[in-house]
């Protein structure tokens, strides 16, 4: 059926369409879509039952363009322009059966299942998605934890993510969370993530509570074998259920990120690990050598061997495995200061005339270099020296756990922890569920001891479905506008090239020709329905490089019909 724009004002009474969404305490999360916020226009594909501003509704499969122009929003559809002012709301209605019911943005494939509130901020379109809590999780859980993880681990992740979202609901602000790692990654619903959807469904509404409030359900990719206290990461007051504790599951998981380096105990060339670490260690040795009467010049002493090597001095108290230093006990070859002895046969009463004392500084004399019998100990800072020199850094946070293992002829240095380390470890949860056959409740009890699980009401009914008769009703006749002449195309296709026609837009609409194969790239021209183009290249990303006799650029393949 041809997509039509239809007025709904007169039909609100006739069909009883209930447009306002019913409010509930925990049913809706407002997500600022930062991925789409730096644009002056947003392309919206309607794949469900939607109305706009209590005035318009659309056929399934409709394409809208909403643009910020001179401080106002204008919606373009089927050759019409609707001036909406400073806000547009695309409101979702109930739809029949299990059909898709959401929006696709900027040509993407994932579904955004909620009401889309669009406003203007600094000349750009600001998109905030008002989405049911359980639908929101469908766009979070498989992007925070892989859909291939064991189902009980995914359930634990679902509860943690749900609790995080509900704790952050804030009616005083225009959004609750953002769609990136500043809160939780939200990417919309991908139907292929079946395990994550099952985990969300089977834990529907389950949230973590402590002392009558939503718990701080932080989670991290990998804690390196020990959970971290939020006080050490962000400051503030201690949290009873987020403490430092050993995590054998994380460290046992072979998929936890580990970076390693080897340091030979008896380097033949005097190099400790590598030249960069050697320079750091030798610079730390210089003050000790000078104090003990050895030549501190870097070129005059060398490192013969490492007698001992271990991490030292916890950064956050005795229980913390985050250390400040790598402590090395070293054997050195160095030059001792030369000592002049007095010859007893030379009389102090010599009749010889006294000589004048030499002028200027007296240069020290050094004996030949030899092995020093006393070991030297240095504390090399882990952050940033050791992790930088050995190239074992994982985080930019400088919070990794470094361990040293005696490997016989060498010391093996390993670094672990990916993320802040607070709360649930995703790799630890994976290991617990996969190797220890535990439930999601047991996983949560391990990472948030003392937290209670309660079931909240996180869903509510959608507005009444829009009548199919209403959707088929023709809209108002648009004002006639002169139709531009299509651009000529005289060039014939060469090898690997095709002729195509712009057919994937409405007869009175246009297709954007962009400078680069990107939805945020500059629009260099608008191609009208029926425009003939020459396809020069097909990109894997779904874009085509095309040209006419007038211009060249990129369009999405789904909007053209290729004639081979």
Q: According to the model, what pLDDT value does residue 78 have?
A: 85
Mean pLDDT, range 411-424, rounded to an integer: 97
**Which pTM does this prediction carry?**
0.74
pLDDT at 519: 73
Residues 29-67 as b/e (b if ≥16 CB within 10 A, e otherwise) read bbbbbebbbebebbbbbbbbbbbbbeebbbbbebbbbbb
- What is residue 166's three-state secondary structure? helix
Task: Give the per-residue pLDDT at 437.
Answer: 87
55-59, 129-133, 334-338, 546-550: least confidently modelled range: 55-59
Instruction: pLDDT band for 15, please (50, 70, 90 cuts).
Output: very low
pLDDT tens per residue, range 487-513:
888 888 888 888 998 887 655 557 888
Q: What is the pLDDT of residue 521?
A: 76
What is the per-residue pLDDT for 341?
57
- pLDDT value for 345: 54
Confirm if 256 and 427 have CB atoms less than 8 A apart: yes
Question: In the structure, what pLDDT confidence band is assigned to residue 484 with cuts at 50, 70 and 90?
Answer: low
Q: Regarding predicted confidence, which is higher, 542 or 192?
A: 192
Q: What is the pLDDT of residues 146-167, one digit of tens each?
A: 999 999 999 999 999 999 999 9
pLDDT for 481? 38
Q: For residue 17, is pLDDT > 50?
A: no
Q: Tell me: pLDDT of 346 over 70.
A: no
Question: Can you tell me the distance from the alpha carbon of 111 to that of 105, in angstroms, rounded to the nearest whole number?
Answer: 8
Mean pLDDT over 353-360 rounds to: 55
pLDDT above 60 (res 270)? yes
Looking at per-residue pLDDT, the higher value among 479 and 366 belongs to: 366
Domains of the chain plus CATH, in order, are: 6-202 (no CATH), 218-256+422-447 (no CATH), 258-338+363-416 (no CATH), 498-563 (2.30.30.40)
CA 522 to chain centre: 26
Q: What is the mean pLDDT of the chain?
A: 87
pLDDT digits (tens, 9 = 90+) for 33-56: 998 888 899 999 999 999 987 778
Confidence of residue 471 (pLDDT cuts 50, 70, 90): low
From the list 65, 99, 91, 23, the residue with the least C-alpha distance to 466 is 91
CB 535 within 8 A of CB 500: yes
Instruction: Say if CB 506 and CB 5 are below 8 A apart.
Output: no
How far apart (Å, rounded) are the C-alpha atoms in residues 465 and 455? 29
Q: How far is CA 130 from CA 135, 251, 449, in A?
A: 10, 39, 32
Give residue 360's pLDDT: 58
Q: What is the mean pLDDT of residues 458-472?
A: 70
Backbone φ, ψ for residue 508 (5° rounding): -105, 15
- By CB atoms closer than 10 A (0-12, 13-18, 19+), residue 238 is exposed
Instruction: Taking residues 506-528, report their average pLDDT.
Output: 78
Most confident range (mean pLDDT) of 288-297, 333-342, 539-548 is: 288-297
Straight-line distance from the first to the last Cα atom of the chain, in angstroms, rounded to the nearest whole number: 27
Inform me whether the pLDDT recorded for 308 exceeds 70: yes
- Residue showing tokens 């000589």: 355
Give me the count of residues in the chain: 564
pLDDT at residue 508 in the model: 55
Edge-to-edge strands, sheet with 410-416: 258-264, 410-416, 401-406
pLDDT of residue 19: 32
Please state, for a pLDDT cut of 90, what percent of the chain lies above it: 67
Task: Provide the 8-state DSSP code for 547.
Answer: E
Tell me the pLDDT tens digit for each residue of 425-458. Answer: 999 999 999 999 899 999 999 999 999 999 999 9
Cis omega before residue 124 (within 30°)? no
Residue 208 or residue 6, greater confidence = 208
Q: Give yes or no for residue 23 having a pLDDT over 50.
A: no
């Amino acid at each position: 059926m041809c997509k039509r724009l239809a007025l709904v004002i007169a039909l609100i009474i006739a069909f009883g369409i209930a447009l306002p969404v019913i409010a509930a305490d925990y049913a809706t999360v407002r997500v600022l879509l930062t991925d789409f916020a730096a644009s002056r226009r947003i392309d919206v594909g309607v794949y469900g039952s939607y109305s706009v501003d209590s005035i318009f509704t659309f056929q399934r499969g409709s394409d809208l363009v909403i643009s910020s122009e001179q401080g106002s929003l204008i919606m373009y559809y089927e050759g019409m322009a609707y001036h909406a002012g400073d806000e547009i709301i695309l409101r979702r209605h109930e739809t029949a059966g299990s059909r898709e019911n959401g929006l696709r943005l900027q040509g993407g494939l994932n579904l955004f299942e909620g009401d889309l509130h669009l406003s203007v901020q600094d000349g750009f379109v600001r998109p905030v998605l008002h989405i049911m809590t359980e639908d929101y999780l469908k766009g979070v859980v498989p992007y925070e934890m892989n859909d291939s993880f064991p189902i009980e681990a995914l359930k634990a992740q679902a509860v943690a993510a749900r609790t995080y979202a509900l704790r952050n609901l804030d009616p005083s602000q225009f959004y609750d969370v953002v769609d990136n790692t500043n809160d939780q990654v939200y990417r919309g619903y991908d139907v292929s993530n079946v395990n994550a959807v099952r985990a969300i469904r089977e834990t529907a509404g389950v949230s973590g509570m402590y002392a009558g409030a939503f718990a701080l359900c932080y989670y991290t990719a990998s804690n390196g074998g020990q959970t971290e206290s939020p006080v050490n990461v962000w400051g503030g007051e201690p949290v009873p259920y987020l403490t430092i504790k050993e995590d054998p599951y994380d460290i046992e998981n072979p998929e936890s990120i580990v970076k390693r380096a080897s340091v030979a105990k008896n380097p033949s060339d005097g190099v400790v690990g590598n030249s960069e670490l050697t320079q750091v260690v030798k610079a730390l040795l210089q003050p000790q050598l000078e104090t003990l009467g050895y030549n501190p010049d870097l070129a005059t002493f060398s490192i013969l061997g490492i007698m001992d090597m271990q991490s030292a001095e916890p950064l956050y108290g005795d229980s913390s495995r985050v250390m400040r230093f790598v402590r090395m006990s070293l054997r050195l070859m160095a030059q001792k200061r030369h000592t002049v002895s007095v010859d007893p046969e030379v009389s102090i009463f010599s009749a010889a005339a006294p000589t004048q004392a030499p002028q200027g500084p007296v240069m020290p004399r050094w004996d030949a270099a030899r092995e020093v019998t006393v070991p030297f100990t240095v504390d090399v800072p882990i952050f940033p020296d050791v992790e930088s020199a050995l190239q074992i850094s994982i985080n930019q946070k400088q919070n990794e756990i470094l361990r040293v293992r005696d490997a016989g002829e060498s010391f093996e240095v390993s670094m672990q922890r990916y993320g802040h380390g607070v709360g649930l470890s995703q790799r630890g949860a994976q290991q617990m569920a996969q190797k220890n056959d535990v439930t999601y409740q047991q996983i949560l009890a391990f990472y948030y001891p003392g937290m209670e699980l309660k079931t909240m009401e996180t869903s509510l009914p959608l507005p009444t479905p829009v009548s199919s008769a209403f959707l088929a009703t023709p809209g108002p006749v648009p004002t006639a506008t002169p139709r531009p002449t299509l651009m000529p195309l005289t060039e014939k296709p060469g090898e690997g090239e095709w002729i195509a026609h712009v057919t994937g837009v409405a007869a009175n609409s246009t297709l954007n020709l962009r400078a680069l194969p990107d939805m945020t790239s500059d629009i260099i021209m608008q191609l009208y329905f029926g425009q003939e183009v020459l396809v020069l290249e097909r990109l894997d990303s779904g874009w085509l490089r095309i040209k006419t006799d007038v211009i060249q650029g990129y369009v999405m393949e789904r909007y053209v019909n290729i004639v081979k």
